[in-house]
Structure 1
Amino acid sequence: MRIVMAGASGFLGTRLADQLRQSGHDVHRLVRQPGTWDPGQGRLDPEALAGADAVINLAGANIGAQRWTAAYKRVLRASRVNTTDTIARTLAKLPAADRPRTLLQASAVGWYGDTGDREVTEDAPAGSTFLADLCRVWEAAARPAEDAGVRVALLRTAPVLDRTGSLLKPLLPLFKLGGGARIGGGRQWMSWISLPDWLGATEFLLEREDLAGPVNLVSDKQCTNLEFTRALARQLRRPALFAVPGPVLDLVLGELAGEAQRSQRAIPGVLRDAGFSWAYPDIESALAAALRPEPPIGR
């Protein structure tokens, strides 16, 4: 399968491109170049997509890279919406014979906002938080491709567990020093997925032409923040005796702290019904896999 990928140099994109190539696919990175691929200007040479079997769009600025100032919120929005809109409109304009059949479009479980103890599947409405609104306009930007007959799967991804990025990378130094802590009372639910399962689910969706629309890329078994904290401490053989009060998080992280304190219990309804099998469905096995050293090169 010939695949064009935007966001191929990011944490997830790099690993997905490697896995797809190992599976025998021909992966082409969509590299920003003036006059050819410039989503800020809404410009994409149709020839970059013509003749491909699928397009995967994972582009977007890092949600947790810095405090959510008004300026950075605009960056988060533009980096997602402009890229998606440009790709979707370019796909729609291509002749049907040259148009890729599939678009795997990044999104996030932030769509649901705070769900409390309530389980939510893909048919749940968007929440009322900044991230929920961001996901709403992000997904809507893919609609021109869908209207043109492209199969669009919206990858509502949870934080991905791997020691080299996403949720775990900033936490590991603290936990290794014995400073691991639950957030508040720790009763809030967390959505997450192991890196191998995210890669497997994305490739699964690439190949399943009968699946379209929103898909929750989350673990099969959810956990609370307290359960996550204790499991990570056990894996590292370190204590985790503390709690971080909400006001302290607010002071350090600003509005981003609200996301860390919300309860979200997203369920992988589409993947379950489609028969996807998780390699690491529970938090203990997922953390063990995420923290396992990589084998030396050549072995």
Structure 2
Amino acid sequence: MGDDYTVDLVLPKGSLEEPTFILFKEANLEVIRRDREYNPIIDDPRIGRVKILRPQEIPKYIELGYFDIGITGRDWVVESGADVIEVAELPYSKKTKNKVRIVIAVAEDSGINDVKDIKPGSRVTTEYPNITKRYFDNLNIPIQLFFSYGASEAKVPEIMDVVVDLVETGSTLERNRLKIIGEIMTSYTVLIANKNSIKDDSKREEIDDIKTLLLGVVEGRENVYLVMNVPDDKLNEIMNILPAMKKPTISQLYDSGYYSVQTVVSKREINVLIPKLKQSGAEDILELNINKIVR
């Protein structure tokens, strides 16, 4: 680990790499790298050494103390068996905004509709051998386990009988004429920390700061700041239809018979809400993006 007053950080390579860099940039913790180097820098006094590695490797390196904190998938934490602290869930990319699942699937015409119906000795392919072995051991179903280097769904039924795979919607399995018959666990992107680092007062403070900034961006992305002018006689009506994290800020406009109303609203509601506000008498409605929300 680096200086006692900084934390060493490891970030994921691959599909999470670009959205992770965007997240850190929006948190004013920009990852600065040349070409595809694996040792970038973050110009912040709280962050020391930075490394980019495969997410599968990150949990063990955090456990061993090579880094203080890192970002990876919960699936890789469980698969590796790493003894680390989950600091925060970070649903910041399209892939992880909805939690993903590790599922068991078989060919549509296999005649198998439940995991318990899988025959002993069946060939099972997966990128999660440890998770898969524990699961079938608990069911007392002996299997032949084959590690998969990708495209697991393509191997059933000609080469393999069962696939254990990570899915979001399951559409890829369906396109390959496979059906899901069970679920092992859900997964999501996590910020994890070394146990000793968390116990160190100075490092824990830095870790909490970084967590606060990242979560602030995640929450800010999900909401907008809404500003509008409302006639005096329409104020109560507007208040009845206006959702908010807390009560809106209301201030009377000078010598006009209007109030300025300001509040934070979820992006999921905004396109339905704005026409209702206009129909109810709100004027000069402004929708503004939010960089961070820190609770």
TM-score over 0.5 for the alignment? no
- Greater helix proportion: 1
Aligning the two structures, in what range does the TM-score lie when normalised by the shorter sequence?
Answer: under 0.3
- Greater strand proportion: 2
